[in-house]
Structure 1
Amino acid sequence: MKNDCKKRIAQAGYASRRKAEQLILEGKVKVNHQVVTTLGTKVTPKDLVEVSGVQLENERKVYYLVYKPRGVISSVKDDKGRKVITDLLPEVSERIFPVGRLDYDTSGLILLTNDGDFANLLMHPSHGAEKKYVAKIKGVPEPSDLKQMRKGLRDGKDLLKAVGYKILSSDRRKNTTILEITLIEGKNRHVRRMMDKLGYQVLKLKREKYAFFNTGWSSARRLS
């Protein structure tokens, strides 16, 4: 499979993609011993890539499944100095990134990898990767409210839908309900916004399944 040369440089940890573009334009990059100066040059894993005389090794693909606690940002950096998802894996040397996001107050499964193709496969709605959440909400919803989730709720430009739901428990004395909600396409704060449109406050939210990964896995498991 062919990839952009600048992506190969970034994946090898030599430089960021923006810096890699600059190196290509400056004539400091060779592919199979030939200088390349054209942005968008494609390379295969078998091609020899050199930057300023240094031969790049193909970075091995790594995959880490992490259980993100509340109070952690699903990003590799935060301008407010808050704890980020990569802080949970301080021993990892590869340049990894999270696949999808969980908001600050949501816990649950998240995958970190340096495999962009696999990440795109999981994240694109057309591939139908299920995301299963468990939400504790204030109130005991009517069946008609829950059915509305499957029809979809309009919030601004977004149509928020669930492909499935299940009431796990209800406590009328405490006026709370625990719901299992399944999504295919996950928009920003999807479950929280959907429940808010129905008039129910989300007290706790966690993701228990993402595609074929579930919470039966360990809290920080390396998959390769």
Structure 2
Amino acid sequence: MRERLQKILAAAGVGSRRHCETLVREGRVAVNGHVVEIGASADPQKDRITLDGRPVHREPLVYWILHKPRGVLTTVRDPEARRTVLDLVDERRARIFPVGRLDRDTEGLLLLTNDGELMQALLHPSRESPRVYRVEIEGRLSPAEARRLASGVDLGGGETTAAAEVGEVDYRGRADVSVFALTLIEGRKRQIRRSLEALGHRVKRLIRTRMGPLTLGKLPYGQARELTSAERRKVLEHARRHGARDDGSRPIRGGRDDGRRPIRGGAGSRSGGRSSRGRDRDRDPSARAGPRSRAPRPGREARPPGLRASRAGGDRRAAGGRSRAPGRR
């Protein structure tokens, strides 16, 4: 059966579909000895497909979850021979890649796979795939600072962080630290650390506890394992439901974390349902808002794009135990 070349390359673990499209545009892909262009298709069972002259073979799709420790780099290889996340995963059947990045000093959930379609579905901000972090900072995070964090922090130079959802803050007076959960839809480079530094707080510890439908759970620190069949079904269903696409039109085949009311950048429905206007935006890509939403009504702040009311009780344990009101010890 014939398929688009970028899909075949992604399934072979070459990279995401977008990256594979770039390889085709650069003239590095050939079918039966002939260099092809974007839009070409092939039958992986019958045709000889090469990348830079080397045959491309489909690998079995594999999915690993890692509890990344501090000090390990999220990369495939490091020119300085420092320890990378691949050093912690015993995968010999296929070439795998980390889905997204965690900073060197950030810990927690990291997915590694050779499924390029899934990478696209989980990483693209338009797919609304939430990432939840347990954040521990120095000092007390005030309600006003939490609202600024939720709506986006001005970093200067015309740069503002993406909107977020801030869980209830647990201030621990004896240690003078605040612990809370932070949910991002659109992650930007070092967004959490930079925004909190701009508010005057140093991040002491940052742990990702959830990515899309996957949770860190009780996976030991520094350990990796393959996804269970149930987890694999969940993550593939999540990708299908949120419509990963190879050409902007065709779907692929194949929260909350503390149980309390979220702090948002503005008012929004708690039902989590979608309005007909939102569904219309989905059908008409030209009607979608960009990184900044339309102007709010007078007296109300803008609602962070892509965020919805989440179900209660998700990852309360991951957020540092039972949440307490600010000021309580």
CA separation in 2, counterparts of 1:184 and 1:5?
26
* Cα 1:154–1:12 shift into 2, 3 Å: closer
* Cα 1:161–1:51 shift into 2, 3 Å: closer
CA separation in 1, counterparts of 2:47 and 2:10?
8
Native 8 Å contact 1:5 1:41 kept in 2 = no
Q: Which has the higher strand share?
A: 1
1:22 deviation in Å?
A: 5.0
* Cα 1:12–1:139 shift into 2, 3 Å: closer
Taking only aligned residues, the RMSD between alpha carbons, in angstroms, comes to 3.1
SS in 1 for 2:119: helix
Mean CA deviation greater in 166-175 or 179-188: 166-175
Query: What corresponds to 2:195 in structure 1?
Result: 194
SS in 2 for 1:105: coil
Native 8 Å contact 2:11 2:58 kept in 1 = no
1:41 deviation in Å?
A: 6.3
Identity %: 31
* Cα 1:59–1:41 shift into 2, 3 Å: farther
Query: What corresponds to 2:46 in structure 1?
Result: 48
CA separation in 2, counterparts of 1:137 and 1:108?
17
* Cα 1:158–1:110 shift into 2, 3 Å: farther
CA separation in 1, counterparts of 2:151 and 2:55?
54
CA separation in 1, counterparts of 2:133 and 2:153?
18
Query: What corresponds to 2:205 in structure 1?
Result: 204
* Cα 1:44–1:210 shift into 2, 3 Å: farther
List, as ranges, runs of 4+ consecutive aligned residues in structure 1 with deviation greater than 6 Å.
52-55
Native 8 Å contact 2:8 2:44 kept in 1 = no
SS in 2 for 1:196: helix
Does residue 92 of the first structure (1) align with residue 96 of the second (2)? no
1:146 deviation in Å?
A: 0.6
CA separation in 2, counterparts of 1:165 and 1:77?
34
SS in 2 for 1:121: helix
1:168 deviation in Å?
A: 4.9
Does residue 222 of the first structure (1) align with residue 226 of the second (2)? yes
Alignment of 1:7-86 (within 5 A): 7=9, 11=13, 21-22=27-28, 24=30, 29-30=31-32, 35-40=33-38, 42-44=40-42, 46-50=44-48, 57-86=57-86
CA separation in 1, counterparts of 2:59 and 2:39?
19
Mean CA deviation greater in 56-65 or 190-199: 56-65
1:40 deviation in Å?
A: 3.8
5+ unaligned residues in a row in structure 1: which ranges?
Answer: none
Provide the TM-score with structure 1 as the length reference.
0.82
* Cα 1:192–1:77 shift into 2, 3 Å: same
* Residue identity in the other structure for 1:165: V
* Cα 1:61–1:10 shift into 2, 3 Å: closer
CA separation in 2, counterparts of 1:172 and 1:54?
61
Does residue 111 of the first structure (1) align with residue 115 of the second (2)? no
CA separation in 2, counterparts of 1:3 and 1:138?
50
* Residue identity in the other structure for 2:81: G
* Cα 1:47–1:201 shift into 2, 3 Å: same
Native 8 Å contact 1:149 1:161 kept in 2 = no
User: How many residue pairs are counted as aligned between the two chains?
Assistant: 213
5+ unaligned residues in a row in structure 2: which ranges?
Answer: 233-329
Provide the TM-score with structure 2 as the length reference.
0.57
Native 8 Å contact 2:10 2:116 kept in 1 = no
Native 8 Å contact 2:12 2:56 kept in 1 = no
CA separation in 1, counterparts of 2:14 and 2:100?
22
CA separation in 1, counterparts of 2:177 and 2:49?
59
CA separation in 2, counterparts of 1:158 and 1:198?
15
* Residue identity in the other structure for 2:127: H
CA deviation map 1:176-222 (0-9, x unaligned): 11111111100011110110111100011110011101112634221
CA separation in 2, counterparts of 1:10 and 1:60?
8
CA separation in 2, counterparts of 1:210 and 1:146?
22
